[in-house]
Structure 1
Amino acid sequence: MTPTTTPTAHAPAHARIFRPHRDDVLLAVVSVLSGLLLWSLGIYNTSDRHFFPAWAALVPLLALGPMELLRRTAPRVTLAVGTVGVIADQFTVGNLATVLVFTDLMYAAVVYGKPAMARRLPVHTGLVTIAVTVASVAWLRTPQSLMIGVITGIVCFGPALTGATLRNHREAAEAARLRAEQTALLAEMDRSQAVVAERARMARELHDMVANHLSAIAIHSTAALSIDSPATSREALGVIRENSVQGLAEMRRLIGLLRDAGADQEAVATPSLAALDALLGQARVNGAASGLDFVLQGGLLPGEPLPAPVELAAYRIVQESLTNALKHAVPGTVRVRVTRADGLLTVRVESPYGDRPGPRAPGSGAGLVGMRERTELLGGEFSAGRAGSVWLVRAELPAEEKAVAG
């Protein structure tokens, strides 16, 4: 079957059918009919001009009337024809409709023409009005000669000024609309970024709260399944139960925080560095079966308050480092050190590195990503990698309130 083609917007310009605006068609028809009516009734602009017969006044009228059809699409052409026509009309008995058509063509040239022409026409018509006024007064030397300048201003300068005013209002409205759209777009982008940031924060909190307990559960359940010993199974079940209860409590706290359950709930759900001893104690219980011990070296001096975001980030980094040690570290001692000096809070966690026998908990790599994000959001520096026989996690966080707020 041969496909049929239909005219589209991509067709060449010469192939498109010209269709004037319906208002322009109405203007053209009314202008011509009005001019013909005035001429038939013998109503002329003046009766003392005898350069041409009376019917000659119809020539400028019939030339300018159809120009209304092009006032939007070809304003430069219509203005040129209109200027010639209105000048020619002055050598006949004159027709008021011809003058009115010219004023509309002048107005349309400013409104629909190019910006440069729209800027120049009010200035040029103003200068023409002044020149005609001065010339009339100098030539005729009568007070009535001022009316020639007034009429010139009404016919050419007035429409140009009106068109320029309307165009300026339209451009200002369009600029305001574009600014509103840009503002709405920026607001939508900010909202989307805020949603993404909030989701990332929720993901970090969920991972850091629950991953430690789930890792311990995975390790001890694997140990209970692989070692056929009632004592080992009972010990593993005890650790599994304890981590299950604690993990469930952490989940409830997180859900309560997300539901905005209140300031008290939020305070409970936000840990601090004062709880590091309890965190390491839990890690010792969870890592005993893997031959791991956990030691806290040094610590912050009392009476040194930290910004809440910094303290939370430091706690979560230590928590995630301990979780990774439970998953991957070989038997040995995991050393945790948190110090503050020169406006920086330094978190350092060293885990024994090597080939680990026995059961392992699977890892996704989200923990390292979360620790790095927490550090960078506060303007700190984070590094994690092998350093000799240990796996070293190190984070430097700004310890001053001003640095965090900035």
Structure 2
Amino acid sequence: MPRTLPRPHRDDLRIAVGGLLGGVLLWALGIHPRPASDSLVLWHAPWGPLVPLAVTAACEPLRRTRPRAGLLIGTAALTLDTVTLGSIVTVVLYTDLVYAAVLYGTPASARRIPWITGMLTVVGGVVPAALWRDPQGLLIGVGIGVVALAPAATGALVRDHRDAAEAARLRAEQTALLAEMDRAQAVTAERVRMARELHDMIAGHLSAIALHSTAALSLDDAGTTREALAVIRENSVAGLAEMRRLIGILRDAPGHRGSAVSPTLDGLGALVDRARAGGLDVTLDAGHGEVPVPVELAAYRIVQESLTNALKHAAQGRVRVALRRRDGRLEVRVSSPYRPGDSPRVPGSGTGLTGMRERAALLGGTFEAGASGTSWVVRAVLPLTEGDPA
């Protein structure tokens, strides 16, 4: 298919028509920049100025679509105009072609045209003055500067401002995109944190409720049923309290903890007591001392989730919980009896191990969980930030 030229802008057509009509009006009134007696006038035909005027006006629709071609044709028309009586409108239209060639042309044209017009201005002023030995020869350079250099410099200045505005717009869009990406990542991270917190708080209570409700339904013994219901009630109340605490955290303004405080390692005793009430034989050896709040929360949640997993999966035997502070690190270790092939008493989703690993990774620590002989061992090493109290 033949390549079609882009349609000219409506404003460019208006400039062409307006310039042509204005030039014809001045010609009809006999207004010319050069008298017929001027030695430069070689074409004395009365209609001579209309030819370069018409050609220059015809170049105006090309000022945006083909600015370089319009400037070249316009230069030829202006050269022809210099040997006629001339038209002021032709010169004005040509200055617009120079301006448009710099503003709408290629980057190479935008760089070269101001330099070329500048050199022509200097040469056009110095050479005639030197040859004629008359300072008035400099006026030729001034005329070239007004007709060519001034519009070229103006076009370059406007183009620089336009490019700077476009670059600023692109930077603003990029900044907005990065801000949106940061917001999306922050929302995702907050959702993951909330899911991890909710799982760690509620999973243990629900697991104990599931185990003891199963025992109450399967055993036809009033005493056992009463004990199971007591444990179910205790875990239901504790789970409800944890849910209220989480809702309190979400409702509190940033920086205000109020009554919705995070659990601390001082609460490990109560946590172990609840695990014992759920049927686990648990021993606690806590020699951690005072630790930073983030480490304290992570350690508490790791112990909580480990006890929940022991309640679901551990074989009969003793569960040992130990916390030790060594070389600027807090080591959390939970071991429970393990027999390969045993099916869990309560179904699990596997998110507990993922949550514990994420908590350790967020603090720059390490996490391991796996079978070691007849025990299932969970071990997390959490670094303490420098300057924390020992």
TM-score, normalised by the number of residues in structure 2: 0.94
- Decide whether the 8 Å contact of 1:328 with 1:356 is kept in 2: no
Give the SS at the match of 1:339: strand
Distance of 2:60 and 2:342 partners within structure 1: 92
- Decide whether the 8 Å contact of 2:16 with 2:57 is kept in 1: yes
Give the SS at the match of 2:260: helix
Q: For 1:306, which of 273, 279, 291 is the aligned residue?
A: 291
- Decide whether the 8 Å contact of 1:223 with 1:359 is kept in 2: no
Q: For 2:368, which of 383, 387, 394 is the aligned residue?
A: 383
Distance of 1:380 and 1:244 partners within structure 2: 33
* Superposed CA RMSD: 1.8
Give the SS at the match of 2:325: strand
Q: For 1:161, which of 153, 160, 174 is the aligned residue?
A: 153
Q: Which residue of 2 aligns with 1:392?
A: 377
Q: What amino acid is the match of 1:323?
A: T
Unaligned runs of 5+ in 2: none
Q: Does 1:294 align with 2:285?
A: no
Q: Which residue of 1 aligns with 2:122?
A: 130
User: Higher mean Cα deviation, 164-173 or 85-94?
Assistant: 85-94
State the Cα deviation string for residues 356-389 of structure 1 (Å, max 9, x = none). 8797112111111111111111111112122222
Q: Which residue of 2 aligns with 1:91?
A: 83
Alpha-carbon spacing, 1:119–1:50, altered in 2? closer, same or farther (3 Å):
closer
Q: For 1:367, which of 320, 339, 352 is the aligned residue?
A: 352
Distance of 2:133 and 2:26 partners within structure 1: 32
Q: Does 1:265 align with 2:259?
A: yes
Identity %: 59
Alpha-carbon spacing, 1:241–1:227, altered in 2? closer, same or farther (3 Å):
same
Give the SS at the match of 2:259: helix
Q: Which residue of 2 aligns with 1:324?
A: 309
Alpha-carbon spacing, 1:138–1:277, altered in 2? closer, same or farther (3 Å):
same
Q: Does 1:254 align with 2:246?
A: yes
Distance of 1:312 and 1:246 partners within structure 2: 18
Distance of 2:97 and 2:41 partners within structure 1: 28
Q: Which residue of 1 aligns with 2:326?
A: 341
Give the SS at the match of 1:265: coil
Distance of 1:298 and 1:275 partners within structure 2: 11
Give the SS at the match of 1:187: helix
Shift of residue 176, structure 1, vs aligned partner: 0.7
User: Higher mean Cα deviation, 379-388 or 164-173?
Assistant: 379-388
User: Higher mean Cα deviation, 159-168 or 372-381?
Assistant: 372-381
Give the SS at the match of 1:232: helix
Shift of residue 141, structure 1, vs aligned partner: 2.5
State the Cα deviation string for residues 204-261 of structure 1 (Å, max 9, x = none). 1111111111110011101111122111111100100111111111111111111107
Q: What amino acid is the match of 1:21?
A: H
User: Higher mean Cα deviation, 131-140 or 212-221?
Assistant: 131-140
Q: For 1:143, which of 129, 132, 135 is the aligned residue?
A: 135
- Decide whether the 8 Å contact of 2:286 with 2:322 is kept in 1: yes
Q: Which residue of 2 aligns with 1:245?
A: 237
Distance of 2:32 and 2:285 partners within structure 1: 109
Alpha-carbon spacing, 1:316–1:359, altered in 2? closer, same or farther (3 Å):
closer
Q: How many residues are paired up?
A: 382
Q: What amino acid is the match of 1:381?
A: T
Distance of 1:207 and 1:295 partners within structure 2: 24
Distance of 1:100 and 1:402 partners within structure 2: 76
Runs of 4+ residues over 4 Å off in structure 1: 355-359
Alpha-carbon spacing, 1:134–1:280, altered in 2? closer, same or farther (3 Å):
same
Q: What amino acid is the match of 1:382?
A: F
Shift of residue 62, structure 1, vs aligned partner: 1.3
State the Cα deviation string for residues 120-153 of structure 1 (Å, max 9, x = none). 2112211111111111211232232222111110
Alpha-carbon spacing, 1:13–1:24, altered in 2? closer, same or farther (3 Å):
farther
Alpha-carbon spacing, 1:306–1:235, altered in 2? closer, same or farther (3 Å):
same
Shift of residue 307, structure 1, vs aligned partner: 1.6
Q: For 1:109, which of 93, 101, 106 is the aligned residue?
A: 101
- Decide whether the 8 Å contact of 2:126 with 2:137 is kept in 1: no
TM-score, normalised by the number of residues in structure 1: 0.90
Alpha-carbon spacing, 1:17–1:77, altered in 2? closer, same or farther (3 Å):
closer
State the Cα deviation string for residues 76-113 of structure 1 (Å, max 9, x = none). 11111111111121111111111111100000001100
Q: Which residue of 2 aligns with 1:7?
A: none
Q: For 1:182, which of 174, 179, 182 is the aligned residue?
A: 174
- Decide whether the 8 Å contact of 2:124 with 2:138 is kept in 1: no
Distance of 1:76 and 1:387 partners within structure 2: 81
Distance of 1:359 and 1:329 partners within structure 2: 8
Distance of 1:28 and 1:402 partners within structure 2: 78
Q: For 2:28, which of 40, 48, 59 is the aligned residue?
A: 40
Q: For 2:8, which of 7, 16, 20 is the aligned residue?
A: 20
Shift of residue 13, structure 1, vs aligned partner: 6.6
Distance of 2:41 and 2:82 partners within structure 1: 11
- Decide whether the 8 Å contact of 1:51 with 1:92 is kept in 2: yes
- Decide whether the 8 Å contact of 1:272 with 1:315 is kept in 2: yes
Shift of residue 297, structure 1, vs aligned partner: 2.8
Alpha-carbon spacing, 1:13–1:258, altered in 2? closer, same or farther (3 Å):
farther
State the Cα deviation string for residues 309-338 of structure 1 (Å, max 9, x = none). 111001101100000000111111111111
- Decide whether the 8 Å contact of 1:222 with 1:359 is kept in 2: no
